[in-house]
Homo-oligomer: A and B are copies of this chain.
Amino acid sequence: MANSKAISSAVIRRLPRYYRFLGELISSGCIRISSRELSDKMSLTASQIRQDLNCFGGFGQQGYGYNIEELHEEIGKILGLDHKTDAILIGAGNLGRAVTNHMDFDNRGFQLVGIFDQNEELVGQKIKEIEVMHTNNIESFCQTHSPLVAILCIPKTATKSISDRLIPLGIKGFWNFSHYDLLDRHPGIIVENVHMSDSLMTLSYKISQLQKEE
């Protein structure tokens, strides 16, 4: 395996899609695939695919294509999906509940070990077998369980104070659904944002352009 430190973020961004796609091929019974076929199905050029996969040491065999299961497993390892990182969810409202119910954490490299909310009415409710705890218990929970990642499904206004509490408790990475720009306040931490509102505005832009053209 090549040293993955030098891999560009553009390649990294494409890996989950390769992983998903190869998983589907396995489900449909495929065993080998050429970079050309893969490129047709993924709307990337074959040379792009070869370049991407070469970043990790190259899995293909000239004339034989890629062994799908091997490639899927290797990309899974690169993505860190072969082990699980403990994560906690902050915010058990609509969004937090949907994220918990919707996401397959176990197959995405994480184990959800705790859910917190400041709303007394939600405390004690169960989401996917996990009982919602009060945010007052974050400190004691983190000291005992040492989760590395926090999923933030809280309003922007609450994100500053919550992140200020979580980082000294050992949280190194955030899956951030709030619109708070965590990196501005905490440079050096790991943040993966899901900015749904920005995505919706981008769609609005594209639709407006279409309407102007018509």
A residues touching B (Cβ–Cβ < 8 Å)? 4-5, 12-13, 15-17, 19-20, 41-43, 78-81, 83, 85, 94-95, 97-99, 101-105, 108-110, 148-149, 172-173, 175, 179, 181, 183-184, 190, 192-211
Contact across chains for B85 and A94 when beta carbons are under 8 A apart = no
Main secondary structure of the interface of A (DSSP, over half): helix
Task: Give A108 Cβ to nearest chain B Cβ, in Å.
Answer: 5
Contact pick for A101, options B94, B193, B196, CB 8 Å: B94
Quick one: copies of this chain in the complex?
2
| Chain B residues, CB < 8 A from A192 | 199-200, 202-203, 206
Q: Which residues of B lie under 8 Å from residue A197 when comparing CB positions?
A: 16, 20, 103-104, 108
Q: Is the CB of B201 within 8 A of A108?
A: yes
Pick 14 A–B contacts, CB within 8 A, sort by A: A15-B202, A17-B195, A19-B201, A20-B197, A43-B184, A80-B205, A80-B209, A81-B201, A85-B207, A94-B98, A108-B204, A173-B207, A193-B199, A194-B196
For A213, give the chain B residue with the smallest CB separation. B5
Q: Beyond A85-B204, A148-B207, A203-B173, is A198–B43 a contact (Cβ under 8 Å)?
A: no
